[in-house]
Amino acid sequence: MPRLAFELVVQAAIEVPLLTRASYHGRVPRVIRTMCPMNCHPTLCGMLVEVDDGRVLRVSGDVDNPDSRGFLCVRGQAAPEILDNPRRLLYPMLRATRSDGWRRATWDEALDTIATRMRAVGREAVATWSGHGIFANNYGTRIHSHLLRRFSNIHGCQWWSPAIICWALGGFGLGLTGLLEPNTKEDMGANAAMIVLWGANLASQPNTARHLAAARRRGARIVTIDVRETEAAAQSDETLLIRPGTDAALALALMHVIVTDSLVDRDFVGRHTVGFERLAAHVHAYTPEWAAAVTGIEATRIVDLARRYATTRPAMIVVGGSSMHKASNGWQAARAIACLPALTGQVGIPGGGLGPRHGASLRGQVLGNIVALERRPPGDYVPDQMSRITESLVTGHVRVLLLFGTDMLSSFADANRVAEGLARQELIVSYDLFENDTARRFADVLLPATSWLEELGCKATNTHVYLMPQVLGPPGETRSVPWVLRALAERLGLEDFFPWKDDAALVDAMLDVPATRHANVASLVAEGGMRAMNVSHVGHPDLTFPTPSGKLELFSERAVTLGLPGLPVFEAPGTEPSHPLTLRQGRTLTAFHSFYDHGRALPSLAKADPEPVLWISPDDAAARGITDGSRIAMRNARGEMRCRAHVTAKIPAGTVWMRDGWSELNTLTSGEAVIPDAAVDALGFSAGQAAFDASVEVAPGDDPPR
């Protein structure tokens, strides 16, 4: 069988003038323009890297990057700790059983082992699954994810969309109404007169903060709605703390006031929406007083917010990217919130609509299609539904699992059930920079990954495309995703899997489209590594919408067809008297999901965020004999987690909150399907996220946190 010879292809690096005249031991280092290897889209930050004699001296924010303007957070500044890190995976590793130690293997042995087992179980028992790690150097273009999907389509194995772990269920709610395209952060800063940050936090999109401040300097009013006082709340004129899982109730009450007070934009509604009369009758029952009892927000504040939003023009709502949609009824919040700009005619205008959102694309932001869907053979495919995926691992439908840049145990809900499925796999392969919990407990093969300076990358924000040149040789025997997939495809006889002459040609295949004004690697190098895209800063600028009617659907026949309510509804979250605290997860500035083994592999991030910490209110803490900083145990019927208490008045009684990504956290979450199988792919993207709901009880605990 032919083997791929590994070639180090050093791409033309994008050198920028030195910012200082400093020299190092008499040598002048090169300064390379690239991007941070994290994915907090819509924030993606430009990075300058000083390199001397094959070593990185330091990184800094790129002041010329139009998205980040020199900003580089603690996560980006920690990136050099990836290089020369003693925990870095540098060689393929194998072990005979999961209780054995690892032994170094050659790439040929590792790849032969994988291909042999894949053939033995048959293509439908093989699955590929990727996490944010596969996008580290290509978020926004998603080149490696598309390549993995191409591999899976041509081979005919299981492939599931990583969107189901992330933004897609929120997108599903917005998409049923028809409001998927955001306005940009630049538009927000320049034009919005009111900004409602609804479950949206600046720890997730720090670059929005600059534009928020600009809007505020112009006199815009900023309102935050969240389950706790976030970093965004500190930048807001007003904060409404809401009970978890009741956002749809608040949105329905806001609609009630807008309709009752005759604040509806009748002309816009008549021309660009369907179902107004049904919605108006529907929201009649959802009074502010009713919503106050449900949400915990006073009725007068609900009335004031509704009137202010409807009478301020333009007003923008920035909807949270992931956390607020992870509950079983979270998508219904997005569905209901999307009706507010529709009722008030705040769509398709500068400063209005919905603001920057993780995973959202602007009008015209379409890149090349390399996934070869037409070559996918018929098969017994497991739907893009998290609960069904877990089931397929447990039942043996899937027996060989190839993981790329993911800690599946930490990202899936109901982690104990996932662990049960992983334990039954005949072969698990983990391709990553570092071992993580899934790899430590269940992998049979480790494949060492290249990092951001060691391969060609290309990222895109909502407005710009950025090249990430290769400037270092890959350490040890690390290899890129394209190299690994090509080598596996050759062993499996997948014809025409990689028809491009090299990785640069692959990037060109994605970029050479109208949205980028036909950019390619060569043109980006010539232009200093960045290019503005040909996109609209205003969502839905021509007032067309991706719904069956082409209008904004206040009532959705499509939803009814899918077995869902035609109107936006509120379904009360379940309660468990023995576990009375509602757990929510979110983001901090010191971590990004399970990257770098939950940050523990990078010393500065491990120091900044050494252990899981639970936010708990003073009342809830006192009632349980818990003090600030003490060790506690959080439990429910599904699982248990040890952590440390952060007693703070910034979270109301009844709610507890923790940064996401800690492995044990999802032993507590539900994992139940949220929408029917038939609905998960109905809107052109996969929305099969499971419920991450968890009701918990917390008690003092002596065990040290792990």
Residue numbers of the site for ligand SF4 (CB under 6 A)? 36, 38, 40, 43-45, 72-73, 75-76, 206
Shortest spacing between CB 59 and ligand SF4, in angstroms: 9
Helix then strand then coil, % of the chain, to nearest 5:
35, 20, 50
- Residue 247, classed as helix, strand or coil, is helix
CA–CA gap between residue 380 and residue 553 (Å, rounded): 34
In the bound state with ligand SF4, the residue whose beta carbon lies nearer, of 79 and 651, is: 79
- Residue 446, classed as helix, strand or coil, is strand
Shortest spacing between CB 359 and ligand SF4, in angstroms: 14
273, β-bridge pairs: 552
> Any idea what the Cα angle at residue 222 is, between residues 218 and 227, rounded to 5°?
165
CA–CA gap between residue 371 and residue 563 (Å, rounded): 30
Alpha carbon of residue 13 to chain centroid = 29
In the bound state with ligand SF4, the residue whose beta carbon lies nearer, of 45 and 389, is: 45
CA–CA gap between residue 508 and residue 524 (Å, rounded): 10
In the bound state with ligand SF4, the residue whose beta carbon lies nearer, of 71 and 657, is: 71
In the bound state with ligand SF4, the residue whose beta carbon lies nearer, of 61 and 330, is: 61
Q: Which residues contact 29 (CB under 8 A, 6 or more apart)?
A: 18, 23, 50, 51, 52, 57
Q: Which residues contact 436 (CB under 8 A, 6 or more apart)?
A: 407, 410, 430, 594, 597, 598
Residue nearest to ligand SF4 (CB): 76
CA–CA gap between residue 69 and residue 287 (Å, rounded): 45
For strand 530-532 and strand 613-616, is the pairing parallel, antiparallel, or unpaired? unpaired
Shortest spacing between CB 209 and ligand SF4, in angstroms: 10
Residue 381 DSSP class: P
In the bound state with ligand SF4, the residue whose beta carbon lies nearer, of 45 and 223, is: 45
Shortest spacing between CB 72 and ligand SF4, in angstroms: 5
CA–CA gap between residue 141 and residue 578 (Å, rounded): 46
Shortest spacing between CB 44 and ligand SF4, in angstroms: 5
Shortest spacing between CB 608 and ligand SF4, in angstroms: 13
Q: Phi and psi at residue 423, in whole multiples of 5°?
A: -60, -25
Shortest spacing between CB 409 and ligand SF4, in angstroms: 23
In the bound state with ligand SF4, the residue whose beta carbon lies nearer, of 206 and 383, is: 206
In the bound state with ligand SF4, the residue whose beta carbon lies nearer, of 76 and 671, is: 76
Shortest spacing between CB 392 and ligand SF4, in angstroms: 33
Shortest spacing between CB 452 and ligand SF4, in angstroms: 11
Cα four-point dihedral sign 66, 169, 367, 347: negative
In the bound state with ligand SF4, the residue whose beta carbon lies nearer, of 294 and 591, is: 591
- Residue 402, classed as helix, strand or coil, is strand
Shortest spacing between CB 204 and ligand SF4, in angstroms: 9
In the bound state with ligand SF4, the residue whose beta carbon lies nearer, of 355 and 701, is: 355
For strand 640-647 and strand 613-616, is the pairing parallel, antiparallel, or unpaired? parallel
CA–CA gap between residue 415 and residue 420 (Å, rounded): 9
In the bound state with ligand SF4, the residue whose beta carbon lies nearer, of 243 and 358, is: 358
633, β-bridge pairs: 642, 699
In the bound state with ligand SF4, the residue whose beta carbon lies nearer, of 73 and 559, is: 73
Tell me the C-alpha to C-alpha distance, in Å, between residue 68 and each of 170, 183, 358, 560, 602.
25, 17, 16, 42, 23
- 153: its two tokens: 């389509």
Shortest spacing between CB 234 and ligand SF4, in angstroms: 17
Q: How many CB atoms lie within 10 A of CB 686?
A: 21
Q: Which residues contact 426 (CB under 8 A, 6 or more apart)?
A: 117, 121, 399, 400
Shortest spacing between CB 651 and ligand SF4, in angstroms: 24
In the bound state with ligand SF4, the residue whose beta carbon lies nearer, of 75 and 144, is: 75
In the bound state with ligand SF4, the residue whose beta carbon lies nearer, of 383 and 599, is: 599
Shortest spacing between CB 77 and ligand SF4, in angstroms: 7
In the bound state with ligand SF4, the residue whose beta carbon lies nearer, of 166 and 297, is: 166
CA–CA gap between residue 158 and residue 463 (Å, rounded): 33
Shortest spacing between CB 70 and ligand SF4, in angstroms: 11
CB-CB contact of 646 with 630 (8 Å): no
- 481: its two tokens: 């995703």
CB-CB contact of 490 with 4 (8 Å): yes
Cα four-point dihedral sign 293, 296, 298, 299: negative
Question: Ramachandran region of residue 348, left (φ > 0), alpha (ψ -120 to 50) or beta?
Answer: left
CA–CA gap between residue 352 and residue 370 (Å, rounded): 34
